[in-house]
Structure 1
């Protein structure tokens, strides 16, 4: 493969020779100017300075034609004023508001629905409260339930000041002050039965026996609360003889033992004695049988064991039952 032959070097065109005898006229906008001898390349000569528009005829100046715009500007009515501009702006705002209302109509309907539901609930609550606190729901009858030893009529008479009071406004402090005068009342609850009934549910104290004192025989419950005082021992309740009085550990143990007894045995007990919390003894009535109980631990278990042995060995032929150890009951 042969290398291509290089192209011949180009020769610049020859500059024409300058002839001093030639006269060249340089024409600008003005009249022709004669070039002096020596030619334009003579460094010692300069051309005279002539004004640009010197002796230019009027017909030589041509005006530049105006190029029209691509789109003609809209005609402006010279009679449009500020009020017309304001009116157009207001019309535009009204149109914008109308579009906004049209696109938010569903949201506004949903909001109005929720507002209506909330308003209905508020009116319902206000109406209910207004009716409840009005004389339409005032107390007309006080009903006492749950009493056995206590006189229900006396309790109702003590609460007569609540008649005419709206059920929500019944004063619980006044009810407590009225019931505190009845020692047999252990606890109570108030129940409103619209439109006019107030129910008082009472839990009475359970007396465990009577304690002898200088005033006579005082009936007490397991907490040592005095219920009544009589000159003779109350019928149907055992006489309690403990060391240290109603505030001692011996009395607390006696109360625990008596409340653990079944009704079949409780009605046979005529006396309970204790010097300490560990030597509780029960006296059974007619046959004169005693029950050695010991302390109050496992009283429910001891009560079941005593009931079983009494069914097998009645008290008439027994002088004592010892249930201090319920797994090994001793009968004498």
Structure 2
């Protein structure tokens, strides 16, 4: 068996150098510093140059001041930069909210103008600038207009907005012909009173004389003699009966031309209302007050064809078939 050959020895340059014990160690090579490896200088904090009365520096103080760094920055410069940044930020906020602020100003102006207008109008309305100086009565045909105006004279000098409706009502209650009324203010100084008069339907004879009444049974006037142009009412039960209410509805439904010829109205029940026409004494059998408007039209046509001086009786109890006798 053949033995392997040993490895060749390393070259002389790679073999470790051997030194003797007494041989001196060579100094390491000198290394020049790189400018890139240099660090920034350290800026120390120093105490303020304030000394006491003895010329020595105060002890126990923790306050320090910063000396300017290499670029000249200081605490005052930082404060100025911060203030400039806040100003710039405020300017940007104002720039981006200009539309919102303008809209808010417009709304505030509109609200203020509306408030001023309302307050000014209310102040003027309740001031003597719009006081009542003239009262006008409208719708009166049977009433004495001068008497009504004198009764409302207490409202003269009162602002239109403060006219007392209850006082006006109390003044008009004294006039039985007034059925209803409305007040109308015409600035600056006019008060208009629109009245609706009661419509008389006839007279009731009693021991006191002849009393003119309307369809509601309200006594309008009483005279010792029968007033001209008003039919005589002969109603069973008086003004509080159903027969009187039926007769009142019939009289209000008649046309003016027919009503002017009625000289008497009689009813014992609500279903047997009878009218008397003119000097001839022609009768109109009306029946109940139902469908009075239709019956009035039929009676008007029958009277046009057959005048009362040639007719004894008109029967309109059934408006579909009027009868002349």
Query: With structure 2 as the length reference, what TM-score do the two structures score?
Result: 0.76
Counterpart Cα distance in 2 of 1:314 and 1:234:
26
| Aligned equivalent of 1:304, options 267, 272, 297 | 297
Partner SS for 1:252: helix
Matched, 1:317 2:310: yes
Q: Which stretch has the larger CA shift, 261-270 or 88-97?
A: 88-97
1:142 has 2:135 as partner: yes
Could you say if the C-alpha distance between residues 70 and 285 of structure 1 is closer, same or farther in structure 2, counting changes exceeding 3 Å? Answer: farther
Which residue of the partner structure matches residue 264 of structure 2? 271
User: 229, 234, 252: which is aligned to 1:259?
Assistant: 252
Give the Cα separation in 2 of the matches to 1:73 and 1:243.
131
Q: Using the TM superposition, name which of 127-136 and 277-286 deviates more.
A: 127-136
What aligned pairs does 1:47-196 form with structure 2 within 5 A after superposition? 78=67, 86=79, 88-196=81-189
Return the offset for 1:264: 1.1
**1:168 Cα deviation after fit:** 1.4
1:209 Cα deviation (Å)? 0.8
Structure-2 separation of matches of 1:294 and 1:307? 16
> In 2 relative to 1, CA 95–294 (structure 1 residues): closer, same or farther, beyond 3 Å?
same
For residues 268 and 102 of structure 1, the distance between their equivalents in structure 2, rounded to whole angstroms, comes to 89
Instruction: Write the deviation string for residues 149-180 of structure 1: whole angstroms up to 9, x where unpaired.
Output: 01111111111111111111111121111111
Secondary structure of 1:125's counterpart equals helix
Question: By how many angstroms is 1:142 displaced?
Answer: 0.5
1:82/1:180 Cα in 2 relative to 1: closer, same or farther (>3 Å)? farther
Give the corresponding residue for 1:200. 193
**1:74–1:284 CA distance, 2 compared to 1 (3 A):** farther
Where 1:165 maps in the other structure, the secondary structure is: coil
Task: Quote the offset at 1:88 in angstroms.
Answer: 4.5
In 1, the alpha carbon distance for the partners of 2:222 and 2:34 equals 132
Say which is worse superposed, 241-250 or 75-84, in terms of deviation: 75-84
Q: Secondary structure at the match of 1:316?
A: helix
Offset, 1:91: 3.7
CA distance in 2, matches of 1:149, 1:122: 48
Larger Rg computed on CA atoms: 1
Query: Corresponding residue for 1:23?
Result: none
Alpha-carbon separation, structure 2, partners of 1:68 and 1:150: 121
- Deviation, 1:90, is 3.6
Q: Following the alignment from structure 1 to structure 2, what is the Cα–Cα distance between the partners of residues 250 and 305?
A: 22
The answer to whether the Cα contact below 8 Å between 2:43 and 2:67 also exists between their aligned partners in 1 is: no
- What is the rounded CA distance, in whole Å, between the counterparts of 2:232 and 2:128 in structure 1? 52
- Please give the alpha-carbon distance, in whole angstroms, between the structure 2 residues aligned to 1:322 and 1:278: 13
Name the stretch that deviates more: 237-246 or 110-119.
Answer: 110-119
Secondary structure of 1:97's counterpart equals helix
Partner of residue 287 from structure 1, selected from 280, 287, 310: 280
Partner of 1:27: none
Residue matched to 1:5 = none
1:92 CA drift (Å) = 2.9
SS in 2 for 1:240: strand
Aligned length in residues: 287
**How many Å separate the matches in 1 of 2:251 and 2:41?**
115
TM-score (norm 1): 0.75
Shift of 1:68: 6.5
Greater mean alpha carbon deviation, residues 148-157 or residues 299-308: 299-308
